[in-house]
Structure 1
Amino acid sequence: MNRTRHQDIQSKQGIAVLSPPNGSLRRLWFIGTIVLICVSWSMLVFSQERENAIWNAAGTSGNVVLIRHALAPGMGDPPGFTLGDCSTQRILSEEGRVQAVKIGEYFRANGIRKARVFSSQWCRCLDTARLLDLGVVRELPILNSFFGRRELEHQQTQALRKWLAEQHLNEPLVLVSHQVNITALTGIYPASGEMVIIRRSEDGAISVIGTIKTD
C-alpha cells in the first residue's frame, strides 16, 4: 500500500497523522525558532544598551538619582513611631540590607564610586544610603515620608523642587527616599530599591530619564 493510500486509511479510522509531509512543517518550525531566537537576542541587547545609557546618565552633570529605600516588609510605620528610634520603625530586612549593598556595587560597576548622598531621616532610608557606601550620608528632612499625611505632599514636593533647583549638579547626586515622595515628584511608582534617574534643567524643570530595578 502506498503512503498516500495509507494516510487516507488512517484518516478514515480517526488516527491523527503527525508526520509532516516532505518535512515542510519541520522547516517552518526551524525557521520560526531561528526568528524567535533572533528577536529575543535583539530585545536583550536593546534592553542592555538602554540600561547602559541610563547608567551613563546617572553619572552625568545635571542629573539626579532617586532611590526608594531597599526592602522593608510592611507598609507605613507602626503606632508609636519615633524619629531617631529605629526600634519604633519599619526597618530593612536582611534581604533589604543585601539589596542596598548590591545597589552600591552596581554604581561602582558603572563607574560611579563617589556621590553626594542625601537621605530621608527614616531608619530604612538612612540604612539604605549608608550601605550604598558612596560617601557621607546627610539627612534631608524634605525627603521624609508623608505617607498617611497627604496634606504635606504639595508643600514637601515643592520644597524638594526648590532644593534641587539650587544644587550645583557637577557630581553625582543620590537621594534616598520613599515611594510616595518619588511618585509625587516624578509620577513613577518605584519598587523597593528601584532607581529613578531624573534630569534637572537650568530652569529647574524635572524630567524622567529612566528607571533601573534592582534585585
Structure 2
Amino acid sequence: MSFQITTRPGYVVGLFALCIALITSFNNAHAQDEEFWAALQQGGKVVLVQHAKLDENVGDPFSLDPSCFIERNLSDEGRTQAQVIGHTFRHYQVPIEAVYASPNCRTKDTAQLAFGKYEIKPELRLIRALPEEQAKHNMATIKRLIGDYTGAGNLILVTHRPNIGELIHQRVQPGYVAVIEPLGDGLFDLIAIKVFD
C-alpha cells in the first residue's frame, strides 16, 4: 500500500514564508544579543535593571520595611532570575564599577543575588510610593547621574518598573536590563535591551 501526500501551492508558500520569518527573527535576536553584550564589555555604560519577579500575592509594593516583612518580595522564580542575570554578566566578563539599588528589599535582594554587592541609593526608590515633588527631584537626580557618568566600568542601577519607564519611555518587566550611553550634561541614549526570563 502506498500513500501520496498532496499539498496546495498556497500552503507551501505560506510554510516557506513562516520559515523565513522565523529565521529572520532568530538572526535579529542574535544580532541584538551580540550588540547588548558588546556594549557592556566596552564599559562606561549605565545599566538599568528592574528587580526580578515578585511574589504578587504577599506584601505591600509601596512599603519600605527594613525587616522586609511587610514589603512585596522576590518569589523563588525571581531569586533564580536574579542569579541568572549575575551568572550571565560574569560569563561575558562585564566590567562593573559599582552597583546601586533602591532601598526596597526586592531591589536590594536582586542586586545581592546578581552582583554580590551593592550600595543603597535612596533616589532609586519607587516613584509611585513618593510625594510628587520628591519623585520629580529623585528622577532629576538619577538623570544627571546617568548622563554625567564617566567611569571605566559599568554602573548598575537596580530599581523599579515605573522609574525605568520614566527614564527611557519603554515598557518594562521583571528581569529587564537596559544599557544606556551617557552623553554628558545629564543627557543619555538607550542603546540596547535584554530581558532575562
Q: TM-score, normalised by structure 2?
A: 0.84
1:159 corresponds to? 141
1:63 aligns with 2:45: yes
In the TM superposition, what are the counterparts of 1:119-198 in structure 2 within 5 Å? 119-133=101-115, 135-149=116-130, 151=132, 152-198=134-180
Q: Deviation digits for residues 171-199 of structure 1, max 9, x if unmatched?
A: 02111001121112111231011111111
| Separation in structure 1 between the aligned mates of residue 33 and residue 95 of structure 2, nearest angstrom | 18
Read off the aligned partner of 2:76 and give its amino acid letter. E
| Separation in structure 2 between the aligned mates of residue 165 and residue 47 of structure 1, nearest angstrom | 27
**Structure 1 unaligned residues grouped into runs of 5+:** 1-18
Task: With a CA cutoff of 8 Å and minimum separation of 6, indicate the structure with the bigger relative contact order.
Answer: 2
Q: Is the 8 A contact 2:82 2:175 kept in 1?
A: yes
Given candidates 111, 122, 126, the residue that maps to 2:93 is 111
Measure how far apart 1:79 and its partner are.
9.1
**Structure 2 unaligned residues grouped into runs of 5+:** none
Read off the aligned partner of 1:41 and give its amino acid letter. I
Higher strand share: 2
Larger Rg: 1
Measure how far apart 1:73 and its partner are.
2.9
| Separation in structure 2 between the aligned mates of residue 146 and residue 100 of structure 1, nearest angstrom | 22
% identity of equivalent residues: 26
Q: Is the 8 A contact 2:60 2:70 kept in 1?
A: yes
Change (3 A) 1:168 1:48: same
Aligned pairs, number: 193
- RMSD of equivalent CA atoms: 2.7
1:210 corresponds to? 192
Q: Is the 8 A contact 1:153 1:184 kept in 2?
A: no
In the TM superposition, what are the counterparts of 1:46-85 in structure 2 within 5 Å? 46-74=28-56, 78=60, 81-85=63-67
